[in-house]
Amino acid sequence: MSTDVNTSATSAKVAPPPTSTGVNTPASPVSPDAAVETIDVSVVVPTYCEAENLPELIPQVWKSLQEAELEAEIIVVDDNSQDETVAVCDRLAETYPVRLLVRRTERGLSSAVIHGMRHARGRTLVVMDADLSHPPEKVPELVAALHDGVTAGEPCDFVIGSRYVRGGTTDEDWGLFRWVNSKVATLLAWPLTSARDPMAGFFALRSETFRAAERLDPIGYKIGLELMVKSGSRRVGEIPIRFRDRLHGTSKLTLKEQLNYLRHLGRLYKFRLGTLAQLAQFLAVGSTGMIVDLCCYSVFLLLMPLSVARALAIWAAMSWNFAFNRRFTFAESRRDSAGRQYVFFCLACLFGAVVNWAVSVGLTNLVPFFQEWKLLAALLGVIAGTAFNFVLSHRLVFR
Ligand SMILES: Nc1nc2c(ncn2[C@@H]2O[C@H](COP(=O)(O)OP(=O)(O)OP(=O)(O)O)[C@@H](O)[C@H]2O)c(=O)[nH]1
Ligand SMILES: [Mg+2]
């Protein structure tokens, strides 16, 4: 995945890693299949400027693993933080089984987690933040639930440390905005998973579940959701946790990441529903285009003759639809030239308009029933035209 530098360090206390101690070695892009599962658990901790938190986190995680008698390693994946994270990690590695992977050419929480998982040697993988938002003492419970289920039920494919099941809480000073934001984000993911807290960054899964995940390409922060959906995890268990505010430092979650979440959801819907999701998005864009059309039409009517106003409004809506479909519905085809796609899109829409016109006028003139129901005929025309547009766009423009 990355061609970065990998600094590995550890004490030989419990789970010595395969690479040498404290030496910068070139990282080979380890494929999931290459990982050798020799220990019980790998805890993957993505970090960016977490020097203050790691000295608190690592001993607590290690203590809980030891108490549960789990043979384990802690993999810290850092994106070349400019604070003391690397030095602090090296120091901690003298006492605890910490492996530090430093990525110098790539940045991002989700890809860092995947990177760590690819290097992990545990039969079970746990992911948690470095800022002590996630309670270290719950790690063994998450691991156990993979095998024993949550309430002595079936084994789970995926276990979440959850804020939103009974017994789970967040710190009280979560403002209304943050709470609503989190709830809306969770609601949007509901068609993808029945989990109550699918956005969580604290979760556990078996390494074979990770390897079964197809085409991982998360944008942004929600790596747990990505793994749950792409690995086809059906039995998702949730362990209640108290989610604390970060102990030290500042959040790396920006507004941009929140918008990325919407794009990420779009991708996951497409993964799950295929062309049906694209059709839904195409229709959603089309309906916003209809509003653009009518608004432009009303303004243009004040400025120019009706026939020109109508043509310009349709062109404006068509351009709007093109821009949004290119950005969202068919985002994976943005490598092609926009100009060329635009010309094809307009041509494809012209055909759709003709189909629309022909269906509406044909039904009205040829079927007596529709002479009474001209608007219904027009509506069927719109549906036929839209379906035609979609097929053409899907097959020809955004191949
Ligand atoms: N490797 C790596 N880790 C990251 C990156 N961005 C964030 N992290 C780590 O991912 C974890 C979660 O990030 P946070 O900034 O705590 O995000 P959050 O939990 O949504 O926000 P707050 O807890 O409110 O600060 C932390 O351990 C961060 O250090 C990144 O680009 N690369
Ligand atoms: Mg955090």
- Mean pLDDT for all residues in the chain: 82
Is the pLDDT assigned to residue 379 strictly greater than 80? no
Beta carbons of 171 and 243 less than 8 angstroms apart: yes
Q: Please choose, from the candidates 315, 321, 391, the residue with its C-alpha nearest in 3D space to the C-alpha of residue 355.
A: 391
Ligand nearest to the CA of 75: 1
Higher local confidence (pLDDT), 346 or 208: 208
Cβ–ligand 1 contact at 107 (below 6 Å): yes
Res. 42 pLDDT band, cuts 50 70 90: very high
Pocket test of ligand 1: the residue of 109, 115, 173, 251 to mutate, having most ligand atoms within 8 Å of its CB, is: 109
Check whether 68 has a pLDDT greater than 70: yes
- Regarding the beta carbon of 73 and ligand 1, being less than 6 Å apart is answered no
* pLDDT of residue 155 exceeding 70: yes
Res 19: pLDDT = 36
- Minimal-distance CA residue to ligand 1 atom 5: 109
What span, in angstroms and rounded, lies between the C-alpha atoms of 67 and 386?
62
Residue nearest to atom 9 of ligand 1 (CA): 47
Ligand 1 in reach of 4 Cβ (< 6 A): no
Domain layout of the chain by residue ranges: 5-273, 275-397
Say how many Å lie between the CA of residue 245 and the centre of ligand 2. Answer: 7
Which residue's entry shows tokens 């030095």?
A: 87
Name the pLDDT band for 374 (thresholds 50, 70, 90). Answer: low
Angle between helices 54-67 and 85-92 (to 10 degrees): 30
Residue 282 tokens read as 């195409």
Residue 289 has pLDDT above 70, yes or no: yes
**Ligand whose nearest atom lies closest to the CA of 48:** 1
| Calpha distance 248→192 (Å, rounded) | 33
Question: Residue 349: CB partners within 8 Å, gap ≥ 6?
Answer: 318, 321, 389
What is the reported pLDDT for 6?
A: 43
Please work out whether the CB of residue 251 comes within 6 Å of at least one atom of ligand 1: yes
Q: What is the pLDDT at residue 185?
A: 87
From CA 130, how far away is CA 363, in angstroms rounded? Answer: 64
More confident site: 51 or 6: 51
What pLDDT is attached to residue 294? 76
Residues 80/113, Cβ–Cβ less than 8 Å? no
Specify the pLDDT at position 399.
Answer: 61
Q: How far is CA 334 from CA 212, 325, 342, 343, 344, in A?
A: 28, 10, 12, 15, 14
- The pLDDT value recorded for residue 239 is 95
Token pair belonging to 53 = 């938190």
Share of the chain above pLDDT 70, in %: 87
Q: In terms of pLDDT, which residue wins out, 157 or 300? A: 157
Q: Find out whether the beta carbon of 253 lies less than 6 Å from any atom of ligand 1.
A: yes
Q: Which CATH number fits domain 5-273: 3.30.930.10, 3.40.50.300, 1.10.10.10, 3.90.550.10?
A: 3.90.550.10
User: What does the pLDDT average to over 55-72?
Assistant: 96
Q: Could you identify the atom of ligand 1 that is nearest to the CA of residue 48?
A: 29
Residue 34 has pLDDT above 60, yes or no: no
The pLDDT of 65-85, averaged and rounded, is: 94
Distance 1 CA to ligand 2 centre (A): 25
Q: How confident is the model at residue 170 (pLDDT cuts 50, 70, 90)?
A: confident
pLDDT higher for 76 or 317? 76
> Does residue 48 line the site of ligand 1, with CB under 6 A?
yes
Q: Nearest residue CA, atom 22 of ligand 1?
A: 251
**Residue 15: its pLDDT value, please?**
47
Going from the C-alpha of 8 to that of each of 75, 195, 231, the distances in angstroms are: 9, 35, 29
Torsion angle defined by CA atoms of residues 8, 38, 217 and 231, in that order, rounded to the nearest 10 degrees: -160
Q: Kindly indicate the confidence band of residue 35, based on its pLDDT and cuts at 50, 70 and 90.
A: low
pLDDT band at 78 (very low <50, low <70, confident <90, very high): very high
The whole-angstrom separation of Cα 147 and Cα 41 is: 13
Q: How confident is the model at residue 351, as a pLDDT? A: 81
Name which of 160-164, 178-182, 315-319 the model is least confident about: 178-182
pLDDT band of residue 38 (cuts 50, 70, 90) is confident
The response to whether residue 140 sits with its C-beta less than 6 Å from ligand 1 reads: no
Backbone angles phi, psi at 297, to 5 degrees: -60, -45
Higher pLDDT, 211 or 183: 211
Mutational test site, ligand 1, from 252, 254, 258, 260, max ligand atoms within 8 Å of CB: 252
Query: Minimum-distance ligand to the CA of 47?
Result: 1
Residue 75 carries which DSSP code?
Answer: E
Output the pTM of the full model: 0.71
pLDDT value at 112 more than 70: yes
Q: From the CB of 102, is ligand 1 less than 6 Å away?
A: no
Tell me the ligand closest to 253's alpha carbon: 1
Q: How many CA atoms lie within 13 A of 4 on its CB side?
A: 21
Work out the average pLDDT over 34-58: 89
Instruction: Answer yes or no: is pLDDT of 103 > 70.
Output: yes
Alpha-carbon distance 282 to 364, whole Å? 27
Ligand 1 centre distance from Cα of residue 253 (Å): 7
Mean pLDDT for 207-236 is 90
DSSP 105-135: S---HHHHHHHHHHH--EEEEEE--SSS-S-
How many angstroms separate the CA atoms of 188 and 166, rounded? 21
CA 247–ligand 2 middle distance (angstroms)? 9
Query: Alpha-carbon distance 205 to 131, whole Å?
Result: 21
pLDDT band per the 50, 70, 90 thresholds, residue 16: very low
Which ligand 1 atom lies nearest to the CA of residue 246? Answer: 23
Cβ burial of 225 (10 Å; 0-12, 13-18, 19+) is buried
Determine if ligand 1 sits within 6 Å of the CB of residue 134. no
Q: What is the pLDDT of residue 9?
A: 39
